[in-house]
Amino acid sequence: MTKPALGLLLDVDGPLASPVTRTIAVPSIADDLVTLTGLGVPIAFITGRSDAFVRESVLGLLFERGLSQALEQPGARMFGVFEKGASWAAILPGGMTELEVDPTLAPPAGVTDEVLRIVESDFTDTMFWDYTKRAMISVEQRTDVSTADFVTAQEGLIARIVEVFTAAGVGLRSGDAEIPDARGAVTFRIDPTPISTDVESVLLDKDRAARRAVAYFDALGERPTVWRSVGDSAGDYKMADYLHSIGESVAHVDVKPVGSTPRLYPVLTEGDLIDDYAGAAFLRRSVGLVTSA
């Protein structure tokens, strides 16, 4: 098998799915992902989203555009790691394989049930509970609600979540504050994003997810010559951090740059483009680079 010239680790929200529509809104993104797959570029979706979201909002369109045929080409590899590493599945010509989940990473059921009760009672005018998540709490902004209204409500929700975890004696990190459990441990964290509020195990992150994706690719063939990770938040840099730590040639593409800690690898942008427009430009450029290599 020829060594691939490029490997991709892709965040979903932002670079691929529009933060406004929560779908692939730029058609070339789907076409270029299919083309790159058929050219033997290993592609992993590394996301905090659930498997259901990726299946419905991303893979459905890709299969319509010919992903099955692309995945039948020599060297084609595609993988999904969801909820920042809590669940994962291979993506084959026939669709996604059976999902594997690490249930030890989920918050206690009683705590989750109480947060759900609070959301359904007091916050449904601005957000909704994501029932597709299997190992984390995730409450998402309604698409008919303004960012300002959501952020205001999000602050109130976070305060209530802290109260629930503290009352239950479950260690929690919220921003710079840590509330340890009786043993002094902090096992979960609140991760607010521009469109959601997540509560997740401190063991989950994009570096853990990247490690699982690379292991899957390694089992099937050679590693690429170079890697690109793509994301829209500070946490997405951890994909490139992991690749750099194991000696891989990598650069990170930031589709919403707002300043970041200097890295030991290149950080790239797509000019003035942001979000899925930047993701689309990067993928289109990548097709050109791979086909001309």
Tens of pLDDT along 65-90? 999 999 999 999 999 999 999 999 99
78 and 211, same domain (yes or no): yes
> Is 247 a domain residue?
yes
Does 194 have pLDDT greater than 90? Answer: no
* CB distance 94 to 68 below 8 Å: yes
Confidence at residue 1, expressed as pLDDT on a 0 to 100 scale: 53
Residue 279 lies in a domain: yes
Q: pLDDT: is 3 or 5 the higher one?
A: 5
Domain boundary among 177, 201, 225: 201
Q: List the one residue out of 268, 227, 262, 260 whose CA is nearest residue 244.
A: 227
Examine residue 226 and state whether it is found in any structural domain, yes or no.
yes
Residues 187 and 209 in one domain: no
For the chain, the domain total comes to 2
pLDDT value at position 260? 64
Domain residues for 116?
104-201
In a domain, 239, yes or no: yes
Task: Please tell me whether residues 194 and 222 are part of one structural domain.
Answer: no
pLDDT at 259: 67
Same domain, 210 and 77: yes
Q: Do residues 134 and 74 share a domain?
A: no
Cβ–Cβ < 8 Å for 80, 97: no
DSSP code of 145?
A: S
Is residue 225 included in any domain, yes or no? Answer: yes
pLDDT of the residue at 262:
83
Mean pLDDT of 189-199: 92
Last-in-domain residue among 201, 229, 252: 201
Task: Measure the CA–CA gap between 165 and 7, rounded to whole angstroms.
Answer: 40
136 and 173 inside one domain:
yes
**Residue 4 binned pLDDT confidence (cut-offs 50, 70, 90):** confident
In the prediction, which pLDDT does 78 show? 98
Residues 226 and 270 in one domain: yes
Last residue in a domain, options 155, 174, 201: 201
Same domain, 108 and 195: yes
Check pLDDT > 80 for residue 37.
yes
Q: Are both 69 and 114 inside the same structural domain? A: no
E strand intervals along 182-247: 188-192, 196-201, 226-231
pLDDT attached to residue 103? 87
Whether residue 58 is found in the same domain as residue 120: no
Name the percent of the chain lying above pLDDT 90.
Answer: 92
Mean pLDDT of all residues in the chain?
A: 96
Question: Would you place residue 258 in the very low, low, confident or very high pLDDT band (cuts 50, 70, 90)?
Answer: confident
List, in order, residues 6 or more apart from 107 with CB less than 8 Å away: 136, 137, 170, 188, 199, 201
Confidence of residue 293 (pLDDT cuts 50, 70, 90): confident
Same domain as 109, residue 80: no
Residues 196 and 110 placed together within one structural domain of the fold: yes
